[in-house]
């Protein structure tokens, strides 16, 4: 059985009068943003007063995640319209 280690980081950051903040380098490294910056997804839950910041899902990472459920040797579906045309019952 493969052991998965999950790092949990909690820190307090300062927001400047311009609304800017700096993320600690350890967090930027884990998100792959340490060298050149990048984009993040931010969600605000007004009811809880919480902000969630995460790395946005890319088409490539989503395809890889979905493909992991395919049986070995089966090609991933790339064109839904083509699939339906080929498999539509007549």
Q: Between vectors from CA 34 to CA 28 and to CA 39, what angle results, nearest 5°?
A: 70
User: Which H or E run includes 7?
Assistant: none
pLDDT band at 73 (very low <50, low <70, confident <90, very high): confident
Own/partner pairs, 55-62, CB within 8 angstroms, 24+ separation: 55/31
Q: What is the pLDDT of residues 10-61, one digit of tens each?
A: 889 999 999 999 888 888 888 888 787 788 899 999 999 999 988 888 888 7
Q: Would you say 63 and 76 are in contact if contact means Cβ atoms under 8 Å apart? A: yes
**β strands within 2-89, DSSP E:** 41-45, 50-54
In the predicted structure, residue 1 carries a pLDDT above the cut 70: no
More confident residue, 48 or 88: 48
Closest CA to 7 of 35, 30, 34, 33: 30
**Extents of the domains making up the chain:** 24-68
């Amino acid at each position: 059985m493969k052991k998965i280690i999950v790092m949990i980081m909690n820190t307090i950051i300062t927001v400047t009068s311009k609304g800017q903040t700096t993320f600690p380098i350890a967090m930027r490294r884990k998100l792959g943003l340490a060298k050149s910056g990048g984009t993040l997804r931010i969600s605000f839950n007004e009811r809880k007063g919480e902000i969630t910041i995460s790395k946005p899902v890319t088409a490539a990472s989503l395809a890889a995640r979905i493909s992991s459920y395919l049986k070995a040797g089966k090609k991933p579906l790339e064109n839904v319209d083509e699939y339906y045309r080929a498999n539509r019952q007549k």
